[in-house]
């Protein structure tokens, strides 16, 4: 008896199963391959954009910071001719601009998709940093062009001094820009990590969705797992490489910041020593000058001492940008008393000032103003009187920083006499007040009282 043919019909069709298995395998392999390509593309795009917009920017910025330090610490060589020193200084300043021009804008097309909602406002801060950087660079370029075109060494020297002062302010912008880049590196690393985690999570969902098909063909499962392991190995390698890059760059930036602090301290120390040397030269010249010129030399020594004291305090302070105004004015007044008054205790200095920390570019004009007024009070305000009093008061007010310097000595009949005086000290006080955007009220009741108001300071 022949076996029934129906038993053969009940067997599962092998060809459809093979086609289904092959299609499933092909689909899974295609998904795995697509995922690997997407990860590779993401890695290449992120690496290229990251290098162009962050790493290259940071490296260029480090070179600019180094060039700016060279401008700030410039000093003539012993025995060097003034013209040669001027040419070296011009070359150093030109080198700063040459390095600075390679720091470009961070591509907003790169930042926008990377930052998303931008909780740290890195996009806005980056754009603002770009604008400030370009404006500062334009100012430096204009000053250097004037210095290069000038014919006299003295004029070029003053313009290069202005260039160095602007470079000091430029350093503040460089520090802020460096901080933005550091935060941008951290944010981009976290964003890249989240995107990769999302892709990995998506791959895991695909694996779970097709787990039933994996059971149909063991070979498909083995091949797909092999592909996934390879992809995860590449992902782990990319993550490890990116982490090493961030760690290395963070270490380099930390080292650069420490070197910057060391260089700044060295700059302040050298400036203070140079000013002390200038004062010593003035003292030597004063001993050989006629008596009628001694007052001018003493005034000049006081002004230099006011500037030198600021650099000394910056050198000895852990804060390389700001100085306590009250402490500085107290030391300045004591120094003036020691140098201008022979009788200790004959003049009392009353100082009332809260803890207000100000940057050097603001405190230097304030110190020169105080030097001129206190010096004038000590030398001319008390005459033959055995005792006198000078008061210095500073406070934060609604209108800004208020500074009052007064004495109880002899006063002219009207304040206009002082304001219209053509003496260097009076002109210097008014010019420095205007330079800081301040206003001056003068009173001659019971002595001379100068009341300054500086909006936006303090």
**Interval 424-437 mean pLDDT:** 88
* Segment 17-41 mean pLDDT: 66
Average pLDDT estimate for 171-183: 82
Mean pLDDT is lowest, of 105-109, 410-414, 440-444, for: 105-109
Report yes or no: 375 and 336 within 8 Å, Cβ to Cβ: yes
Reply yes or no on domain 289-454 having CATH 3.40.50.300: no
Q: Do the Cβ atoms of 217 and 18 come closer than 8 Å?
A: no
Instruction: Please report the pLDDT score of residue 439 as a whole number.
Output: 92
What per-residue confidence (pLDDT) applies to 176? 83
Calculated CA dihedral for residues 20, 26, 27, 29, nearest 10 degrees? 140
Average confidence (pLDDT) over 384-408: 87
With pLDDT > 70 as the criterion, what percentage of the chain qualifies? 66
Q: pLDDT grade, residue 433 (50/70/90)?
A: very high
- Confidence at residue 356, expressed as pLDDT on a 0 to 100 scale: 86
Give the model's pLDDT for residue 379. Answer: 82
Average pLDDT, the chain: 76
Residues 233-271: tens digit of each pLDDT: 888 888 888 888 888 888 777 766 565 555 555 554 556
The C-alpha angle 109, 115, 117, rounded to 5 degrees, equals 120
What is the DSSP secondary structure assignment for residue 384, as one 8-state letter? T
Residue 426 predicted with pLDDT over 80: yes
Tell me what pLDDT residue 235 has.
87
Residue 398 banded pLDDT, cuts 50, 70, 90:
confident
Closest CA to 299 of 362, 365, 376: 376
Q: What is the pLDDT at residue 449?
A: 92
Rounded CA-CA distance 323/246 in Å is: 35
Dihedral angle at the C-alpha atoms of 193, 198, 203, 207, nearest 10 degrees? 120
Q: What is the mean pLDDT of residues 334-360?
A: 80
Of 52 and 356, the one with more pLDDT: 356
∠ CA 72-77-78, rounded to 5°: 140
Biggest alpha carbon–alpha carbon distance for the chain: 150
Winning range, highest mean pLDDT, from 84-98, 247-261, 430-444:
430-444
Phi, psi torsion values for 406, nearest 5 degrees: -140, 160
Residue 10 has pLDDT above 50, yes or no: no
Q: What is the mean pLDDT of residues 310-329?
A: 71
For position 437, what pLDDT does the model report? 92
Q: Does the pLDDT of residue 11 top 50, yes or no?
A: no
Neighbours of 190 (CB within 10 A): 10
Q: What is the pLDDT of residue 36?
A: 60
Confidence category of residue 455, pLDDT binned at 50, 70, 90: very high
Give the domain ranges of the chain: 17-267, 289-454
Kindly tell me the number of DSSP H helices and DSSP E strands found in the chain. Answer: 14, 7
Task: Kindly list the distances between the CA atom of residue 274 and the CA atoms of 68, 73, 160, in Å, as whole numbers in the listed order.
Answer: 20, 12, 17
């Amino acid at each position: 008896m022949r076996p029934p043919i129906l038993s053969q019909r009940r067997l599962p069709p092998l060809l459809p199963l093979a086609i289904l298995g092959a299609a499933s395998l092909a689909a899974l392999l295609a998904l795995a391959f697509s995922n690997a390509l997407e990860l590779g593309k993401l890695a290449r795009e992120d690496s290229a954009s990251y290098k162009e917009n962050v790493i290259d920017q940071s490296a260029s910025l480090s070179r600019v910071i180094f060039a700016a330090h060279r401008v700030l610490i410039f000093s003539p060589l012993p025995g060097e001719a003034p013209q040669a020193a001027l040419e070296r200084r011009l070359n150093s300043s030109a080198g700063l601009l040459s390095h600075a021009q390679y720091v470009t804008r961070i591509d907003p097309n790169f930042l926008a998709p990377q930052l998303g909602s931008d909780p740290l406002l890195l996009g806005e801060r980056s754009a603002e940093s770009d604008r400030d950087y370009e404006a500062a660079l334009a100012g430096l370029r204009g000053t250097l062009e004037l210095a290069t075109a000038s014919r006299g060494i003295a004029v070029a020297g003053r313009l290069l001094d202005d260039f160095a002062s602007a470079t000091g302010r430029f350093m503040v912008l460089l520090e802020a820009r460096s901080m933005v880049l550091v935060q941008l590196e951290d944010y981009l690393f976290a964003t890249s990590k989240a995107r990769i985690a999302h892709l990995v999570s998506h791959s895991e969902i695909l694996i779970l969705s097709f787990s039933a098909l994996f059971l149909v063909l063991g070979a498909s499962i083995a091949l797909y797992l092999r592909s996934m392991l390879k992809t995860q190995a590449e992902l782990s390698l990319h993550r490890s490489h990116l982490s090493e890059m961030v760690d290395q760059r963070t270490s380099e930036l930390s080292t650069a910041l420490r070197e910057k602090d060391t260089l700044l301290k060295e700059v302040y120390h050298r400036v203070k020593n140079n000013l002390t040397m200038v004062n010593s030269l003035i003292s030597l010249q004063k001993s050989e000058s006629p008596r009628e010129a001694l007052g001018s030399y003493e005034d000049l020594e006081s002004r230099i001492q006011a500037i030198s004291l600021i650099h000394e305090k910056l050198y000895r302070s852990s804060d390389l940008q700001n100085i306590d105004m009250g402490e500085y004015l107290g030391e300045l007044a004591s120094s003036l008393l020691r140098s201008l008054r022979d009788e200790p205790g004959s003049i009392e200095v009353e100082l009332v000032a809260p803890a207000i920390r100000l940057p050097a570019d603001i405190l230097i004009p304030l110190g020169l103003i105080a030097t001129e007024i206190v010096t004038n009070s000590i030398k001319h305000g008390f005459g033959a009187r055995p005792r006198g009093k000078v008061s210095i008061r500073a406070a934060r007010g609604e209108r800004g920083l208020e500074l009052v310097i007064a004495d109880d000595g002899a006063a002219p009949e009207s304040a206009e006499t002082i304001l219209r005086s053509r003496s260097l000290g009076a002109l210097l006080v008014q010019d420095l007040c205007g330079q800081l955007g301040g206003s001056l009220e003068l009173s001659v009741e019971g002595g001379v009282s100068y009341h300054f108001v500086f909006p936006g300071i303090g």
